[in-house]
Amino acid sequence: MRRQILKTATIIVHDLVATALAVLLTFVIRFDGPLLAERLAHLPVLLPPFVACAGLVYRAFGLYRTKWRFASLPDLANIVRAVAVLTLLLLVLDYVLVSPVAFGIYFFGKIAIGLYFVLQVFLLGGPRLAFRYLKYSRSRQSAARAASTPTLLIGRGHDIEVVLRAIESGAVRKLDPKGILSPRAEEQGQTMRGVPVLGAVSDLDAVVAGLAARGVPIRRLVATPSALAPEAEPEALIAKARRLGLPLARVTSLGDAGRGAELAPIEIEDLLLRPTVAIDRPRLEHFLTGQRVVVTGGGGSIGSEICARAVAFGASAVLVLESSEPALHGVLSRPGLSGQEGVSGVIADIRDRDRMIRVLKDFRPDYVFHAAALKQVPYLERDWSEGIKTNVFGSVNVADATLAAGAKALVMISTDKAIEPVSQLGVTKRFAEMYAQALDAGRGPTETRLVAVRFGNVLGSVGSVVPVFKAQIARGGPVTLTHPDMVRYFMTVREAADLVLTAASHADREARAPGAGDQRAAVYVLKMGQPVRIRDLAERMIRLAGFEPGEDIDVVVTGARPGERLNEILFARDEPMVNLEGIDGVMAAKPVFADRAQLAAWLDRLAAAVAANDRAAADGVFGEAIPDFLHRAGHAGEAAPLSRAG
């Protein structure tokens, strides 16, 4: 901290000295003899207030917020704007206030003021650009000394430049870029930051062979997002890389959240999705900055990502609540959370009502994200009572504890399987939604809000079909499907977490405002694009792995499992839709809920059914509470209608 203060003070002193020097040089260059002597005599009176004013102008234009080693055209533009303001100030002083009244002559004059503008821009911008070039040269030399892997970069120019900057700054190490392959014809034959564009992506074989003939054997390929977009035919790139025996890495970040480019091994699931929804970062930063957040099930796929995103968007304290000690340790050791001030964890089971109320009261959260649940359909069909204990009574405990703690909002993570449910997962989640909606009904603008967010399958999460298919492909097959016509929605963990936070921000802002009317939503659904046919997904994954479905690896249909259905549904037929203006990626509906007294009676009957291990009684309760529940999931093969979003 002290070092940063010292650096900022040095920059301020430099700029003020440069301002004084610019004025002095202006007079020395423009005037001589008695005219120069007369003006130099008055400088001790006029220069200090002008320099002080210049310091305020520089601060207003952000000249002290950027490090010199990253000085760029926008920084130079800010310098020009700041100097233009000072130049205009000199014109006003010289022609309106100072010269006619005090001296009877113009102290500067138009030519001198124009000269001042040029000198001031040079004295402020020149050292910054020179410092950046010095750092650039040293980093290039350092990167050249440290580089050990001759690499080809693949993608469009603007993406490639970010990667090259990261290599030069040392953020990406051990790469020695020998060439670029670009899909744009206009970039062929050019150079980017000293690295030549050697051809198109289709020229990979020839470029690698040509470099090898010149004694430059390529050892690695790095693909930017533009090279892995569907229109770029990434399957062909992966096949060529595999045939050449070259490892292919992808750029996972192009400066997101202030970070530089980051590299990771390419994964099949990186190529399976549509472009993700653009997130309104300022909205989420405004929503979470300085807030206290609890995430139940914080060690899971979604929960851990919500924790990480809450920290990234400025939450002052994040409590990870988890019943699994290994999962809690794993998430608290995760980069971005490990060592972060305000991030803590607690072992607690949402089934333990007293423990939940005590933990939340002690922490005093602003927002509670309830991600803890049992989610695997086949297990819940067998161990149905465990699903009720966790997904129903655990959610009741979390909701009641949230109210007792006085939080601003509870956001319950639900599932698209909760609508017209055919499984224990779906019906228990739907019942939990109904409980939250009943508690939310009639609450005032300043009281705790309780909402639910539904979404489908998350790529890479535990139990997701994609890791299962990957493992089957790695073993040489077969890849197993439960039904050839089954379709599902998919999204990434990051996208799901960001859209959950976006929905929560709406629930706590627009939906609670006085007179919100149609904006008061209780159920949010994440837009997941068009559903994906699972057979098509399996066949594409096989091709991405370099094989041909049906020839190299078989696709086998095993039959639908208990609790499965062909299509997922996002909204119930009787849920009135809400228009969320200005929020992309999220849809919403008004609540459809039961009377609280009726819910309490159903809960008592569910508790009795669990105690007696009477599944028929439990299904009877769910059948009354959720009339479209298809008992014991005997309808997996029936095609439910697609949602209105599909």
Look at residue 350 in the predicted model and tell me its pLDDT: 96
> Is the torsion defined by CA of 48, 49, 50, 54 positive or negative?
positive
Q: Taking the CB of residue 311, how many other CB atoms lie within 10 A of it?
A: 20
**Which residue type occupies 190?**
Q
Which residues have CB under 8 Å from 275's CB, separation 6+?
229
Q: Taking the CB of residue 77, how many other CB atoms lie within 10 A of it?
A: 12
Cα distances (angstroms) measured from residue 381 to each of 229, 265, 528, 538: 39, 37, 26, 25
Q: Which two tokens stand for residue 621?
A: 């309760």
- In this structure, what are the phi and psi dihedrals at residue 346, rounded to the nearest 5 degrees? -145, 140
Give me the torsion for CA of 105, 107, 111, 114, rounded to 10°: -150
Beta strands in 246-340 (DSSP E): 248-253, 262-265, 292-296, 317-322
Q: Which two tokens stand for residue 453?
A: 């967010």
Q: Which two tokens stand for residue 353?
A: 């009502």
Which residues have CB under 8 Å from 403's CB, separation 6+?
439, 448
Look at residue 106 in the predicted model and tell me its pLDDT: 60
Nearest residue to 471 via CA among 330, 244, 269 = 269
Which residues have CB under 8 Å from 321's CB, separation 6+?
294, 295, 296, 297, 298, 345, 346, 348, 350, 359, 372
Cα distances (angstroms) measured from residue 50 to each of 86, 87, 258, 544, 601: 9, 11, 35, 66, 78
- Interhelix angle 615-625/596-611, nearest 10 degrees: 170
The strand pair at 150-154 and 220-223 is best described as parallel
Asked if residues 359 and 342 have their Cβ atoms less than 8 Å apart, the reply is no
Q: Taking the CB of residue 265, how many other CB atoms lie within 10 A of it?
A: 10
**Which residue type occupies 603?**
L
Q: What is the mean pLDDT of each run of 10 residues along the chain (646 residues)?
A: 74 88 87 77 80 88 73 80 88 67 62 87 86 70 63 88 78 81 84 87 90 89 83 79 83 54 64 63 90 94 91 93 94 84 94 96 96 89 94 96 94 85 90 90 82 76 72 85 75 81 84 59 70 79 77 82 59 56 66 78 95 94 85 40 31
Annotate 216-236 with b (16+ C-beta within 10 A) or e (fewer): eebbbbbbbbbbbeeebebee
Pure H helices in 93-178: 110-146, 157-169
DSSP of 522-560, one letter per residue?
A: SEEEE---S-EEHHHHHHHHHHHTT--BTTTB-EEE--P
> Is the torsion defined by CA of 305, 309, 311, 317 positive or negative?
negative
Nearest residue to 17 via CA among 56, 57, 59, 47 = 47
Q: Which two tokens stand for residue 408?
A: 């601003």
Residues in the chain: 646
Asked if residues 437 and 398 have their Cβ atoms less than 8 Å apart, the reply is no
Nearest residue to 594 via CA among 437, 451, 486, 473 = 437
* Cα distance between residue 79 and residue 637, in whole Å: 67
* Cα distance between residue 193 and residue 195, in whole Å: 6
Q: Taking the CB of residue 423, how many other CB atoms lie within 10 A of it?
A: 27
Asked if residues 158 and 166 have their Cβ atoms less than 8 Å apart, the reply is no
Q: Output the CA angle 602-300-583, nearest 5 degrees.
A: 80
pTM of the model: 0.62
Look at residue 386 in the predicted model and tell me its pLDDT: 96
Look at residue 8 in the predicted model and tell me its pLDDT: 79
Q: Please give the biggest Cα pair distance in the chain.
A: 108
* Cα distance between residue 272 and residue 293, in whole Å: 32
Look at residue 641 in the predicted model and tell me its pLDDT: 33
- Strand partners for 248: 221
Look at residue 257 in the predicted model and tell me its pLDDT: 39
565: Cα separation from own chain's centroid: 31
For 47, the enclosing helix (H) or strand (E) is helix 33-60
Write the DSSP symbol of residue 574: T
